[in-house]
């Protein structure tokens, strides 16, 4: 089982403003016309998308539903309102990152896409992320929702690749050393 992160971040390490706004991202970041920064190629390799409730609630405001028919797991111990257009593809789970990975592994999933700040932090700290692709946007926003958080131990990474885009975005892919 492999867990991956694929995310954009301000140079000062935020994935969104405090209120969730991503107005500071350049346009076309997720498969619209033009550059998609490798997102679709990555997304096509994913079996299940895992996210927290906050990220899901932001995604649920998008119409059309942004994840197609990809299975989505929302981590929440409380009930989550799932829009009708997504109901066939979304389920909620609670429990530790390890429990969730085990459950999905038993169903045959091989590649998990872990999304959202808190969820990424929990999976990283549990040693359940093997690869991260981080696209750095050339802006400082000062405060917001951080990509990374406290860890119980250092996490050493192996740099695999860095791509530069003409609009100044820098995309680095790292493998987590085990």
Positions that interact with a copy of itself (CB under 8 A): 11-13, 24, 124, 134, 136, 138-143, 147-159, 162, 164, 168-170, 172, 174
Pick from 87, 114, 115: which is nearest to 101 by CA? 114
d(Cα 18, Cα 16) in Å, to the nearest integer?
Answer: 6
Pick from 52, 27, 47: which is nearest to 37 by CA? 27
Q: How far is the CB of 46 from a copy of itself (least distance, A)?
A: 22
Q: How far is the CB of 115 from a copy of itself (least distance, A)?
A: 18
CA distances from 121 to 5, 25, 127 (A): 11, 21, 10
Q: How far is the CB of 22 from a copy of itself (least distance, A)?
A: 13
């Amino acid at each position: 089982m492999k867990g991956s992160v694929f995310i954009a971040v301000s140079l000062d390490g935020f994935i969104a403003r405090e209120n969730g706004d991503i107005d500071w991202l350049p346009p076309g970041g997720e498969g619209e016309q033009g550059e998609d920064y490798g997102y679709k190629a990555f997304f096509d390799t994913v079996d299940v998308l895992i996210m927290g409730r906050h990220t899901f609630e932001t995604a649920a405001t998008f119409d059309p539903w942004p994840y197609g028919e990809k299975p989505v797991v929302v981590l929440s111990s409380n009930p989550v309102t799932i829009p009708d257009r997504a109901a066939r593809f979304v389920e909620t789970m609670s429990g530790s990152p390890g429990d969730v990975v085990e459950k999905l592994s038993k169903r045959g999933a091989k590649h998990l896409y872990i999304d959202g700040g808190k969820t990424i932090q929990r999976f990283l700290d549990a040693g359940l992320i093997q690869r991260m692709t981080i696209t750095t946007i050339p802006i400082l926003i000062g405060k917001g929702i951080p990509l990374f958080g406290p860890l119980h131990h250092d996490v050493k990474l192996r740099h695999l690749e860095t791509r530069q885009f003409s609009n100044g975005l820098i995309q680095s892919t790292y493998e987590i050393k085990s």
